[in-house]
Amino acid sequence: MEDALMTRLATLSFVALLTLSPLALAGAAGAEDAPRPIRLNQTGLEAGGPKRAILADPSTAPLDWTLLDAAGATVAGGKTKVFGDDPASGEHVHQIDFSTFHKAGDGYRLKVGAIESRPFALRAKPDGKLTKAALSFFYQQRASVPILARFVERPDLARPAGHAPDKATCFDLADERGQVWPGCDYTLDASGGWYDAGDQGKYVVNGGISVWTLVNAWERATVLRRPRALKALGDRSLALPEHGNGVPDILDEARFELTFLLAMQVPDRKALQVPVGKQKPVDGKLTLTAIDASGMAHQKIADRYWTALPTAPADDRQVRYLYYPTTGATLNLAAVTAQAARVWKKIDPTFSARCLDAARRAFAAARRNPEIYQLGPFTGSGGYGDGDLADEAYWAAAELYATTGEPEYEKALRASPLFLAAPSVGGRPTGDLGWSSVGALGTITLALAPNRLKPAEVAQARANLTTSAGKYLSDDLGQGYALPYAAPGYPWGSNSAVLNRAVVLGLAYDFTGEVAYRYGAVDAMDYVLGRNPLDRSYVSGFGARPMRNPHHRFWARQADPAYPAPPAGVVSGGPNSTAMNDPVAETMKGQCKPQTCWTDDYRAFTQNEVAINWNAPLAWASAFLDDTAR
């Protein structure tokens, strides 16, 4: 970056919207605190909500605990609940519940024998800072535009535009198998959108669930008439260039990605050679077939080879390509543009109409070409390959039906084995929310957005989602660290799995008013923000021991002091005990329990990468908890 540019940008200030709490500032700039045996949410707890801490201790009998105020006076006390041996953490744990104490204040400490927790706050009202910071992540991942100092918390986070413009033609070289791809006769301007993760690729599949989650947070607030959420996500709520334009800021951010997704649609009357069906390479080669690709969506735009780490986006000199369109990408495009057509109908009718036209064309293209899978490999970018597209087809049909009410889409969604299904129940359970498991998104839309289903069917969609939330609460009870997630191994991006469960729990609370579901969402957030066996906040800038060294090509101070540390509000992928194939994780194989397979190291891309589809549920869950706090 040029010094003159940085000096000019540094004179601008818009930090009022991203002011961090004292704990956050300490975590961002101070020396790292030592781990403590009493673990709890490091950003503080709700005075009027649930309050739990976890103690790792070998005692098999309950222990006395006391709650001290800032002056050292005892204000509450009780006995720990012995959970016992906890397979996920490898610890013998006790649970401390002090939910009956409600006085707000700073400087509280829990004490068990000679062991004390760090001082923590009990908040009378939500401060909204995590929600703002989590959403600021998306602005700072924008491609093709400069990131300006007045919209970020520190001047060193400003940077010139990368990939401006971001134009590319189809990949027309030999891939890693020696397969020669024929390319195409057009170039698309796919400028804008969000860099996906720690790399500088942009992916339609992962963009789909990320956009949906942000837009759904706004749709929830409008449909359920939640004034606090409407204010927190509305115009003038975030530090953005679009601030004050009369449009909700969360939708301005989502639209930046939607514009990129729209640009990835194949023009009309274009034939392309692609692999059709679930092929296995023969002698390293796939069979390519000419198809009418009109209306389909390219899987991604990305560099030919992995960009060196660190590399600022403006310094990326790799040649970029469009990679062949897939049915999965096309259905993602259909789903989110149908959702956008509904949400923007009154805000911007022209944009709404453009989105609906794209959604119709994409849905028709996917039906015409139902089995074009991402088969790769292409060194330099992620795959996002998915061999089961029934969930994408159901999701797209549900969004189009909710928006249009047209018989074609109703017929498609009723014919799906996923009709009204939720993560753990229904004709064919959808599985947890994730980029490759999007069926529940369709059911959420049918349960939330006004549509023409029978009232009993809408009620069934809500009941199925609530049943799944109940399953998550059962998982919560079975975990030593009291989080609504149970798995024999923790997968890549496990924190997003926990946070996506918080989304379902939040909706179950909305649908039923049963506070237990909200408490489950609190447990999910408490885990991510420090109530875990590593005593770490996995969110940068928040807590005494926050994540500091993500796998990211620009927020890479650990790799090179010339680059910045991450901004506040970025969530790490978290513990990963199932795909330990980076240089750091490989040394931990067989040496860590699932919840402890994590290192705060920029080289640990399987554990400490960041991604748009991980920050999206963080923002949704944080906004929900702020909105529903008592």
Let me know if 199 is a catalytic residue.
Answer: yes
- CA neighbor of 618 nearest in space, from 540, 535, 515, 509: 540
Q: Which residues 6+ apart lie within 8 Å of 84 measured at CB? A: 60, 92, 93, 480
Of 156, 175, 196, 199, the catalytic one is 199
CA 128 to chain centroid: 18
**DSSP per-residue codes, 304-362:** SSPPPSS--GGG----EEEEEEEHHHHHHHHHHHHHHHHHTTTT-HHHHHHHHHHHHHH
CA 235 to chain centroid: 22
What are residue 140's phi and psi, to 5 degrees?
-80, -10
Place of tokens 């969530």: 571
Residue 69, class by beta-carbon neighbours within 10 Å (0-12 exposed, 13-18 middle, 19+ buried)? middle
Q: Which residues 6+ apart lie within 8 Å of 593 measured at CB? A: 87, 88, 89, 90, 533, 577
| Cα separation, 461 vs 418, whole angstroms | 11
Of 551, 552, 582, 627, the catalytic one is 551
| Cα separation, 427 vs 446, whole angstroms | 16
Task: Yes or no: say if 318 and 380 are a contact pair by the CB < 8 Å rule.
Answer: yes
Q: Residue 517 corresponds to which amino acid?
A: Y
Residue 369 CA: distances (Å) to CA of 30, 274, 294, 355, 373: 55, 10, 10, 21, 10
Let me know if 153 is a catalytic residue.
Answer: no
Task: Yes or no: say if 217 and 233 are a contact pair by the CB < 8 Å rule.
Answer: yes
β-strand partners of 248:
none
Q: Where are the beta strands (DSSP E) in 216-319?
A: 271-275, 288-292, 297-303
**DSSP per-residue codes, 64-124:** EEEEE-TTS-EEEEEE-EEEEEETTTTEEEEEEE-TT----EEEEEEEETTEEPPPEEEES
Of 600, 601, 626, 627, the catalytic one is 600
| Cα separation, 362 vs 90, whole angstroms | 48
Let me know if 235 is a catalytic residue.
Answer: no
Q: Residue 551 corresponds to which amino acid?
A: H
| Cα separation, 399 vs 414, whole angstroms | 13
| Cα separation, 608 vs 599, whole angstroms | 7
Of 156, 249, 523, 609, the catalytic one is 609
Q: How far apart are the first and last CA of the chain?
A: 46
Q: Which residues are catalytic?
A: 199, 551, 600, 609
